[in-house]
Amino acid sequence: MQKQTEIYMKQNHMTRPGDGVLVGLSGGADSVGLLLVLWKLRETFQISLRALHVHHGLRGAEADRDAAFSRMLCERLEVPFYEFRIDAAKEALDRKCSVEEAGRQARYRLYEETALAWEEEMCPDLTSENAGEKEAAAARVHIATAHHADDNAETVLFNLFRGSGLTGLSGIAPVRGRIIRPLLWAQRSEIQTWLRQQGQDWVEDSTNQESEYSRNWLRNELLPAVEERLNAQAVRHIDQAGRRIRQADAYLEEVAEEWLQKHAPDGKADAGALAEQAEIVQGYIVRRLFLKSKMPLRDVTETHVQAVRELLHQGTGKSISLPHGFRAVNIYGFLEVRPLSHPGERKGVLLPGIQNGNLLQMHTFPCEKGDEFPKNQYTKWFDYDKIKGTLSLRHRQPGDYLTLPSGGRKMLKSWMIDEKIPRQEREEIWLLAEEKHILWIVGHRISAYYKITEQTKTILEVEFNGGKSSG
């Protein structure tokens, strides 16, 4: 373990002599293994170590135990220890995201703030006048996280099933900015075996054994079954494939950027020239157009990219509505991605008064001839003119119904039975409703009554931020 980690860190140029490394320490086997192996390598790499633990305000006494364990481990190793406490549930409400995502964002924010403070401590006389010279010579603080090969395999599969491009399929990078991942080469079982050999224990987060979350299901059920029934080295092979994909991804990003500098210096891409590129290169160029237009790439899938690529072969004025309030449009042979609030268009308006609105982003905008809407599980478009009452985001109630394409009504209960929705999941599915009329069974389907038609004048775009239909 120690030797392989040393080789991996050198191959990926993770640290320099004199650097500081801030270790994210949860108390679990992965982060304990990371701290211990770096502690054993600290003289080899001539680095200084500190550790940071975040108490998320969840799991009660178990979380208190994890914090106490992490503190005592650092005291034994004589590693300076930081502990921060947050209210992850409250942050999730404030940030309009899942508790899991809110905790992740808070951790990385605290990592970054602590690393910056440590750098200032290392080089207190750094000023704007001498910044260039000092930064070149000053020791740098890195943030070490305990991601390993199993995490990488889970990430590759998760993105594959969601419809990701090569960027998502490349998995977790060993180095990203100041973040380093020294154990990315190792499997979870190898880390635990090494810790036992060292006589080092760790604590277990009981929620890791629950398969309610998608990643836990991949970790606890899918990957073990694949290793048992198909190939015992499946995780290793997925990790290797991710590395090869990462190399291809980096090359194609360079090709796309060079093309844009030549054919779209002002952000408007020559549709004819773009159509002549290989299909995979077209996809990379479209994604870079998203970035240049400041469109968030969160939840962007191949479906959106394909929908934009199809505009290359359509006439002027044709457009595609995209998530996050953006539109792609073909104007006289030039492809442009722009926000709906672009000059000359009416700005989208956030609808007030909706219950559970923290889980939704809702905008209205004029319907234009030629608008097309890519299929997206968690972003939908409705005929706003047909909505007469107040909308609510809620779980099912007696009497709920939706409209079928034939025009007839179907009770929600009957629909769930016909779709074989497990009984225990029916109460957890989010519904966007106008009184008893269901506009959208989130993650599944919308009511035919509210679909956009040639008569639609105003469109309502609804993006669900809960990450899954069960909220």
pLDDT given at position 268: 83
Q: How far apart are CA 260 and CA 282, in angstroms?
A: 11
Report which DSSP code applies to 466. S
Domain ranges of the chain: 2-244, 266-345, 347-471
Residue 393 has a pLDDT of: 84
Q: What CATH number matches the domain at 2-244, 3.55.50.30, 2.60.40.1220, 3.40.50.620, 3.10.520.10? A: 3.40.50.620
What is the full DSSP assignment across 74-85? HHHHT--EEEEE
What fold, for 266-345?
3.30.465
Q: How many CA atoms does the CB half-sphere of 458 hold within 13 Å?
A: 13
Local confidence pLDDT in tens for the 471 residues of the chain: 999 999 999 999 999 999 999 999 999 999 999 999 999 999 999 999 999 999 888 788 888 899 999 999 999 999 999 999 888 888 777 766 777 778 888 889 999 999 999 988 887 765 445 555 555 445 589 999 999 998 898 888 888 887 777 877 888 989 988 999 999 999 999 999 999 999 999 998 776 666 556 677 888 788 888 888 888 888 889 888 988 998 999 899 999 999 888 888 777 888 888 888 998 898 888 888 888 888 777 667 777 888 888 888 776 767 777 777 787 888 777 888 877 644 333 333 444 444 444 577 777 777 766 566 666 667 888 888 888 877 888 888 989 999 988 888 999 999 998 888 887 788 888 889 888 999 999 888 899 999 988 888 888 888 776 544 333
Binding residues: 26-31
SS3 for 51?
Answer: strand
Query: Quick one: pLDDT at residue 90?
Result: 82
Of 367, 357, 356, 361, which is closest to residue 327 (Cα–Cα)?
A: 367
Rounded distance, CA 180 to CA 174, Å?
6
Q: What is the DSSP string of 275-312?
A: HTS-HHHHHHHHHHHHHHTT---TT--HHHHHHHHHGG
Positions at the binding site for ATP: 26-31
